[in-house]
A and B are shown apart, each in its own frame.
Chain A
């Protein structure tokens, strides 16, 4: 069964540094999402992406965050200048069509020091 993959599995970075989290969606999926889960808290929606543009974003997704799908395969989340509070597990999810099942990647654990 095809799976969503994410790299890296873990990343440690210094506050103020840029990080790029990568996701490889299931090949024919059209909708892409990023979620995050701060330790001990609920999974929170960050952004959805369709047809090469952001379709919806949450209040968390401020100017420090950006997403793109530069080569038609990888779907990336960039945090320009990381803050301590960005430390979390970041999940990518992809969807073939609305009302179908969202498939999640294994997550990237980001630690900002």
Chain B
């Protein structure tokens, strides 16, 4: 079955420490991978997508087709990074997104 897996429900890190959020997918073909973020009381917003290969707010994510992973990383977490992070996959021609369960990141000072 097609699936997006985020194994960590909660990730608690200290400010300045590295943070890595794991995402694995099980789709054939060439899916598009995204990371969306939802800050407290705000809407879902795109953080980054694999085809743009850019770094947003210090976050990067590398698509590893061999391991079917798209892990999100930031070398030095900031308190404002505290949020819910969703990995998402788009595999069809209509743009439908399939989301992972999300990882809550808490950055403590």
Contacts and interface: CB of A to CB of B under 8 A. Distances in A.
Contact of A104 (B43, B49, B96): B43
Interface of chain B: mostly helix, strand, loop or mixed: loop
Interface string A94-106: 0100110111111
Nearest to B102: A42
Interface residues of A, number: 25
Interface of A: 4, 31, 33, 35, 41-45, 48, 50, 55-56, 91, 93, 95, 98-99, 101-107
Interface residues of B, number: 21
Interface of chain A: mostly helix, strand, loop or mixed: strand
A31 B32 contact: no
A42 B100 CA distance: 6
Contact of A99 (B32, B101, B102): B32
B98 interface: yes
B48 to A, nearest CB: 10
Contact of B95 (A4, A31, A44, A105): A31
